[in-house]
Amino acid sequence: MMIGKTHLSLLALSSCLLATPVLAQSVNLYTTREPALLNPVLESFTKDTGIKVNAVFLKDGLQERIRAEGANSPADLMLLVDVGEINAAVAAGITQPIRSETVDKVVPAQLRPDNNWVALTQRARIVIASKERVAQDAITYEELAEPKWKGKFCIRSGQHPYNNAFFAAYLAHNGEAKAESYIKALRGNAARKPGGGDRDVARDIQSGLCDVAIINTYYIGLMSQAKNEQKGWFDAIKPLRTSFAGGGTHVNVSAVALARNAPNKDNAVKLVDYMLGEKAQAVYANGNFEYPVNAAVKDSAAVQLLGPVTPDSLSLSEVARHRKPAADLVDKAGFDS
């Protein structure tokens, strides 16, 4: 039997459609994370599930955009890099709880308060010290206020979000009076005016300007891989096992929240579950030397370089609640002056 050209064309078209995966499902993600860090996980999710991720990368204004879009917002998920930002989104009424057996099983309760948001990775704020001039290998945050560190302590601005969260945690643990005295004592121990970035304090340890400083753990990892003078800064420092007296290490998080009007809610939860799996956690955490929240991921880059941390048990929502009072104490102490 003869087959006409029209029939052959239709058969060829059908074959192409069958050979090409059709991504009929999608999920819309708004995020302040860097694309290079997040894209490998999103691409892997699409490959494994067939669900397309439409990612909108924003430096700021994420919450304002979703509020402006209102009930018609296409946003399904928000992925943010600071607990203050994620709590503000919850307070603004633009989120809803994430209901997932995977979340409940994998993520510790303090890292998913009422499931209004869910942490994906953690970064610890620890003390680093000069390899040459400091003998100890462990320290409490409280010890930084001791007179022995006078003129030997470096830190970035007290109002920077990283330090604001740290001071808020101290305030939540110890109350206003002790927190005010602590902030004043740290300022009194400072070798220079607080400022610059986290990597700058490592530079200042190398130069001999200070002996101890506070830094986010992932900056240590990034310096360890540097091909410029920052590798020398890394070589001059050592991380100290750091904790609150009688407590754990202060951490902040990258976290995800489900948008209140999410049009693709089921797919959004699938993406959250996927990002908590061992495969994605390893890729996501290792890309930026962060600590995974999935305890099954044992040998992350951060753990190999810095050792494990025991996060402070204080709820990060409680930390967020103390951020404004902590900022007021920093100003009162003239910390950045």
77-125 pLDDT per residue, tens: 999 988 888 888 999 999 999 999 999 999 988 889 889 999 999 889 9
Query: What is the model's pLDDT at position 87?
Result: 87
Query: What is the model's pLDDT at position 24?
Result: 60
Q: Are strands 212-216 and 153-154 parallel, antiparallel or unpaired?
A: parallel
Ranges of each domain in the chain: 25-122+252-306, 123-250+317-332
Q: At what angle do helices 35-49 and 278-286 cross, to 10 degrees?
A: 160
Q: Are 131 and 238 in contact (CB under 8 A)?
A: yes
Beta bridge partners of 232: none
Do the domains at 25-122+252-306 and 123-250+317-332 have one common CATH topology? yes
Q: Flag whether the pTM goes above 0.85.
A: no
Nearest to 115, CA basis, from 238, 220, 269: 269
201-226 pLDDT per residue, tens: 999 999 999 999 999 998 998 899 88
Q: What angle do CA 60, 120, 200 make, to 5 degrees?
A: 60
What is the C-alpha separation between 83 and 316, in angstroms, rounded? 7
Q: Which CATH architecture has domain 123-250+317-332?
A: 3-Layer(aba) Sandwich (3.40)
Q: Which CATH architecture has domain 25-122+252-306?
A: 3-Layer(aba) Sandwich (3.40)
Both tokens assigned to 176: 């206003």
What residue ranges of the chain have pLDDT lower than 50?
1-23
What is the C-alpha separation between 84 and 82, in angstroms, rounded? 5
Residue 307 backbone zone (phi > 0: left; psi -120 to 50: alpha; other: beta): left
